[in-house]
Amino acid sequence: MIKKFLEISFKKDGQHSPLYLQLESEIIQLICRGVLKPGQALPSSRELAQSLKINRKTVVAAYEELGAQGWVESKDRSGMYVSSHLPDTSVRSTHQNSKKLMRSRQPGYPFITKRPSNGATSTDSAARPPLYKIDDGFPDPRIAPIEQLVREYRRLGKSRLTNQFLMYGPEHGSYRLRVELARFLNRTRGMQVTEKEVLITKGTQMAIYLATQLLVRPGDIVFVPEPGYLDANQAFKQAGANLVFIPVDKDGMDVNRIEQLCKKKAPRMIYIIPHHHRPTTVTLSAERRMRLMSLAAKYGFALLEDDYDFDYHFTSNPLLPLASVDTDGHIIYVGSFCKSIAPGIRIGFMVAPEVVINEAAALRKLIDRQGEQLLEEATAELLSAGDISRHIKKSHKIYQERLENTCRLLREQLGAYLTFDRPNGGLAIWATYKKHISASATALKAGKLGLKISDGRNYFFQPGTSRPHDFIRIGYCSLDETEMAAAIQIWKQALAPYTTPPYSSTASTKHKPLK
């Protein structure tokens, strides 16, 4: 009977763990489920090896490991037995078949679902990995300064301070990185902060989440842009916020609307992306920035400023962040190097008054004791040596060329199907399909042809409104010129079923700004 149970449940899988460990695990499962009872005799190593068609040494090794852990015991001249010291359990089902012996894939306990319901999910329409992907606006990791980062990582790993970096460190993040980052922000963004006002995080999203947990209580009002950023909205909703959606036009969030609403009831916080707003890429005008700061001082709300890709602006010097002129302490400034270097380099930051930073660090410690000190120290060295600044300068030129190339391809190849304005900066182009074209249907068709593109669903979130999903955000940095040309050709094939008249490929790429 025991051999039959093992024949049913034991699966040889040499790609994962050694065979003797797999057998050990199966025997433990049978004991825990009550199939094997305390004091019950086990088959001899020879019998079990023949039954399972494995080497006898494998069974011997499994029995020895089980004995060392106290699951089984050997009796002189009698053989191997389930340990008599284990508690007796009963088989949970009379249907002793392979399905009943498998571990349950459903939780055996109640749990709380805190994931916000947003009604918008991304669609992976491709049955296999796509040939190309036009993403949401990511950098090209192939040009990132990875060699320099690995060089510093290796050097630090061999230094006399290695043991220190491999032990627990400050939950605020590497002290040296905070010092170098404060200097970098002061130099490039006109800020005036010290390392005490900086918290290192694993990307911007962690910083947004921590700030939200500190500021927002259930029922608090948070103003967010519409269209906007899904992941930030989810963080606010998870904290129990009531979201109020503020329209975005060519000059950014509608500050007139914000002022009108504040007269009725001021928000707890306003989430803003003033530079290269996501998804529309527009920049909040200087006039609106000043008015927004004035409203924050008047009504006492916080401004959560997400500056996710400050470094890439092509028509002029970028407008400095609101945090650079924050004299009243209303702004929590968040950003990262994920867009400057590569998404996989999880170095983000939060800048706020010291007392807020200390609270955020204490909260971060509960979910993630600290960051990776070696990576943070290596990043600090790249900042200090100027490697990151040189990389930004180099990539700035490359991405500007890719922007021009992508705009040309879109005009020439897809001008009959969509319209767009050339952005002044950022890592993506915001476009709208012409009225007879479905973004979701196009994404589905493109996926079948080998191209993954946005289906237009994760931009608008205001409940009770019917907004056609005909917009698309086109990341142009992660594909080189040849790759982008091939990707757009596939995209054009996906759009072929649509009738092009009265549109033509020479049609203007201008479209009316969002109202």
Q: What is the pLDDT of residue 512?
A: 42
* 428 belongs to a structural domain: yes
- 76 in the same domain as 162: no
344-376 tens-digit pLDDT: 888 999 999 999 999 999 999 998 877 788 888
Strand order in the sheet with 242-249: 198-201, 348-351, 331-336, 302-306, 269-272, 221-226, 242-249, 252-253
206-224 tens-digit pLDDT: 999 999 999 999 999 999 9
Average pLDDT over residues 45-61: 91
- 269 in the same domain as 397: no
Lowest-confidence pick of 127-131, 135-139, 309-313: 127-131
Give per-residue burial for 239-266: e unless 16+ CB within 10 Å, then b: bebebbbbebeeebbbbeebeeebeeeb
**The domain spanning residue 420 has which CATH number?**
3.90.1150.10
Q: What is the pLDDT of residue 417?
A: 95
- Cβ–Cβ under 8 Å, residues 270 and 301: yes
* 281 belongs to a structural domain: yes
- Cβ–Cβ under 8 Å, residues 357 and 365: no
Please state the separation of Cα 354 from the chain's center in Å: 27
Closest CA to 306 of 225, 397, 418, 388: 225
* 511 belongs to a structural domain: no
114's tokens: 């805190």
- 162 in the same domain as 88: no
Lowest-confidence pick of 123-127, 337-341, 372-376, 461-465: 123-127
Q: What is the pLDDT of residue 26?
A: 86
- 188 in the same domain as 43: no
- 292 in the same domain as 181: yes
State how beta strands 269-272 and 302-306 pair. parallel
The pTM of the full predicted model, rounded to 2 decimals, is 0.81
493's tokens: 């094939």
Residue 508 scores a pLDDT above 50 = no
- 378 in the same domain as 345: yes
Q: CA-to-CA distance for 91 and 95, rounded, in angstroms?
A: 9
Number of domains, the chain: 3
Q: 126 pLDDT band (50/70/90 cuts)? A: very low
- 446 in the same domain as 338: no
Last residue of some domain: 357, 389, 421? 389
Q: What is the pLDDT of residue 121?
A: 47
Lowest-confidence pick of 67-76, 210-219, 250-259: 67-76
Q: What is the pLDDT of residue 125?
A: 45
Q: What is the pLDDT of residue 61?
A: 93
Last residue of some domain: 339, 365, 389? 389
* 106 belongs to a structural domain: no
- Cβ–Cβ under 8 Å, residues 472 and 439: yes
- 382 in the same domain as 433: no
* 510 belongs to a structural domain: no
**The domain spanning residue 51 has which CATH number?**
1.10.10.10
The chain-wide mean pLDDT, for the chain, equals: 86
Q: Which residue has the higher pLDDT, 10 or 269?
A: 269
Residue 141 — φ and ψ, nearest 5°?
A: -65, -15
* 264 belongs to a structural domain: yes
- 272 in the same domain as 396: no
Quote the strand ranges of 178-274, DSSP E.
198-201, 221-226, 242-249, 252-253, 269-272
Closest CA to 335 of 299, 311, 363, 316: 311
The DSSP output letter for 477 is S
Residue 304 scores a pLDDT above 60 = yes
- Cβ–Cβ under 8 Å, residues 390 and 480: no
Range of the domain at 335: 143-389
**The domain spanning residue 188 has which CATH number?**
3.40.640.10
* 56 belongs to a structural domain: yes
* 73 belongs to a structural domain: yes
- 74 in the same domain as 40: yes
Q: What is the pLDDT of residue 98?
A: 47
Distances (CA, A) of 49 to 19, 61, 66, 75, 79: 12, 12, 16, 20, 15
- 414 in the same domain as 355: no
410-445 tens-digit pLDDT: 999 999 999 999 999 899 999 999 988 999 999 999
Q: What is the pLDDT of residue 480?
A: 96
Residue 328 scores a pLDDT above 60 = yes
285 CB contacts (<8 Å, ≥6 apart)?
251, 252
Q: What is the pLDDT of residue 369?
A: 77
- 399 in the same domain as 376: no
